A = this chain, B = another copy of it.
Amino acid sequence: MLGRIPKRTITRLTLYYRGLAESRRGDFVSSNEMSKLTGFSADQIRRDLSYFGQFGISGRGYSVVGLRKKLIKILGVDKQCNVAVVGAGNLGSAMLKYGGFEEHGFRIVCGFDANQGKTGRSIAGKRIFDFSRIKKVSRRLKIKIAILTVPAPVASVVARKIVESGIKGIMNFAPINLHLPTTVQVLNMDMGISLQRIAFLLKKGGYR
């Protein structure tokens, strides 16, 4: 167990966690059942879990409760993580209004915007601060991750300032490549690119 963990394993673990939450029947769940639930192969699931120790029972499977706890611990879902939305436009506002992250341990605590017309007021009970104050506010509110929803032309500059403020994780919705220090974890959610990938796969008939 626990050599080097493949990157994709982490993504899958979140999906196992999700899948486990969906079905809640029986005390034990086998890798085969998990496979049907998540679409990944049973082999893969066992391998992924084995990176973190052995907690399955031969002939039975994994204790649902135990597996759940394990995944929570691995993924750190037990700890609260505060998140801020940077850019209170259409998409940013939608994020602020969406409450679905809480159950996974993430709390959107506030927004930031550079536009005077948006700062000061609240959206879904979350205050929109002036972006210039991000350093102080994010420190005070212990913000660990920023959701970046500003327009593409300013995204690079804004991202750099986010990093300067001490935030080390960014979920980037702007359709550009931010290049930031490798100490910063950036995850791109570029919808244009996603549409292009889908379109390409449709044209090509997918990978069979």
Contact = CB atoms under 8 A, between A and B. Distances in A.
A126 interface: no
Contacts of A208: 182
Interface string A171-208: 10001110100110101011111111111111100111
A185 to B, nearest CB: 4
A205 to B, nearest CB: 8
Interface in A98-152: 98, 100-101, 104-106, 144-145, 147, 152
Contact of A75 (B179, B196, B206): B196
B191 A189 contact: yes
A6 to B, nearest CB: 10
B94 A195 contact: no
Interface string A7-25: 1001100110011001000
Nearest to A83: B195
Contact of A198 (B100, B145, B198): B145
Nearest to A103: B192
B104 A192 contact: yes
